[in-house]
Every structure is written in C-alpha cells, then in structure tokens.
Amino acid sequence: MNQVKTSPLFQPLYRQIKSLITQSLIAGEWAPGAAIPSEFDLADRYGVSQGTVRKAIDELAAEKILMRRQGKGTYVATHSEEEVKLRFLRLVAADGGKELLDNQLLSCERVKASAEMARLLAIKAGSVVIEIKRLLLFSGKPLIHDHIVLPAAAFKGVNTALIERYNGSMYRMYESELGIRMVRAEERLTAIGADAQMAAALSLKVGTPLLSIERVSFTYGDKPMEWRLGLCLTDKHHYLNHLE
C-alpha cells in the first residue's frame, strides 16, 4: 500500500485512499445517492486507521463528491438535491423571487464534432457529438438559450423523449440514465449583443445585451463531458458568484 516516502511520486496515505475511493466511484461500485461503507469498514479494507480514511473522505466531501450525514453514513453526492440548482445554475431573480423554470426543446441531433469542439471535449476529431438546443423559460418568457454538445459515445440513448422526461434537468438525466456525474465546471462569461437568430429565439430586438456563459463540465477524474453555451437575458436576473 505505502511507498518509500523519499520517492518523488510520494503521496500521503490518505491521498492514496482518496484515489482508491475515486476509482471505485468511476467503476460504479457505489451509485450516486447510495451509501458507501462506513469509515471503519473502509479502514479495514485498505488496512489503515479510521482517521486516515476520514481525512480522505474529508477532501471528497469538500469537493462535494461525497456527502456525510451524521448518524447515518456517507453517501455519493447527487444532482437531485435542491442545493445543486444554485451550484450549477447561478442565475437568480433580481428581486430574489422563486424560480420556476420551464424547458422547451428546440432540437437534438447527431453531427460530427468540429476540431475545436473535439479539443474541448478531449475526443478524436470527427467523432460524433450530440447537439441540443433549447430555451429555458421563466414564467412563460424566454430567459436562456442553451446550446449543448455531448460526446455521443458516452451518451448513448440520449434523445428528445429522454430529455423531456427529465423536464430539462440535464445533469439529473446524465446521472440517473447514464451514471455520469459532473463534479466541476469551468465557465467563461462575456457580454454580447443578440444577433438576428438569437433575437428571434428570445423575442428580443437585435443588439439587446445578453450574458454569454460558455461552460465545460467535468466528471470524476477531470474528464470533460459536456460543452455548453448559454445566452441569458439579464434584465431581471443576476449571475451570482461568491469569491472566497
């Protein structure tokens, strides 16, 4: 289990345990929402003390990959909790009102990836990708135009019916139908003016300022799995961010 500590490859024991737990997550040994073995059981399995397992789980919990529940156990985190809404969709109403988003699918088709898209998703140039376009409506009015690109190989079976069954909660769908869970994302924000196409889609005048959010999402092991471009009307909404 352990290595010589002077080796340049040396990792603390608890990080090696953390890797082993992550491997089990990737392998699907414990599904999202399920409980993992207790700290003492894992300590036995890996032949270390409970404190060491605890420190590994501490880090995974800080990364929101695992969730602790006192008295019950430690669980694989899920996108079905309310809390996640704000984590990956940071748009909130300016007046603090409650969000009631509606999903309107525009298209869902398989095409060949551009060189740029292949690079972003770390797949071979020319691989097939799924392109989804949709509108998110806030109390009936179009708020966000989303353009989503997924590597088709990993997202077999994704189609219009499936997306509509989840009412547009893409991350929940990935998780429940495909066992793919996003653990982090990188976003690039800019302000742009609506072009003719966007203006039509969102019922706006050409040139209306829109918040452009380009996102790449990663699953376990920092593997990019989704590219997304959201164009948002921000006259009555804010993108909320906490710097710490």
Partner DNA sequence: GAGTGGTCTAGACCACCAA
Partner DNA sequence: TGGTGGTCTAGACCACTCA
- The interface partner of residue 72, options being DNA, a second copy, none and the CB cut-off 5 to 8 Å by kind, is DNA
Q: How far is the CB of 55 from a second copy (least distance, A)?
A: 10
Q: Which residues bind DNA (CB under 7 A)?
A: 2, 5-6, 10, 12-15, 36, 38-41, 48-52, 54-55, 68-74
Distances (CA, A) of 182 to 6, 44, 107, 239: 35, 30, 23, 20
Q: Does 70 engage in binding with a second copy (CB under 8 A)?
A: no
Q: How far is the CB of 213 from a second copy (least distance, A)?
A: 9
Nearest one of 190, 188, 168, 170 to 180, comparing CA atoms: 170
- Listed in sequence order, the DSSP H helices in 47-174 are 50-62, 83-88, 115-121, 160-165, 170-173
Q: How many CB atoms lie within 10 A of CB 57?
A: 21
Q: Does 237 engage in binding with a second copy (CB under 8 A)?
A: yes
CB 70 within 8 A of CB 115: no
Site residues for a second copy, window 142-201 (CB under 8 A)? Answer: 183-193
Q: Does 221 engage in binding with a second copy (CB under 8 A)?
A: no
Q: How far apart are the first and last CA of the chain?
A: 36
Nearer to a second copy, 49 or 127 (CB): 49
- The interface partner of residue 238, options being a second copy, DNA, none and the CB cut-off 5 to 8 Å by kind, is a second copy
User: 85, 87, 147, 172: which one contacts a second copy (CB under 8 A)?
Assistant: 87
- The interface partner of residue 244, options being a second copy, DNA, none and the CB cut-off 5 to 8 Å by kind, is a second copy
- The interface partner of residue 77, options being DNA, a second copy, none and the CB cut-off 5 to 8 Å by kind, is none
Nearer to DNA, 46 or 218 (CB): 46
CB 227 within 8 A of CB 121: yes
Pairwise CA distance, residues 92 & 146, whole Å: 17
- The interface partner of residue 179, options being a second copy, DNA, none and the CB cut-off 5 to 8 Å by kind, is none
* Strands, E assignment, 113-157: 128-138, 141-151
Q: How far is the CB of 63 from a second copy (least distance, A)?
A: 6
Please state at what angle helix 39-46 crosses helix 50-62, rounded to 10 degrees: 120
Note the residues at the interface with a second copy (CB under 8 A).
62-64, 87-88, 90, 183-193, 207-212, 215, 232, 234-235, 237-244
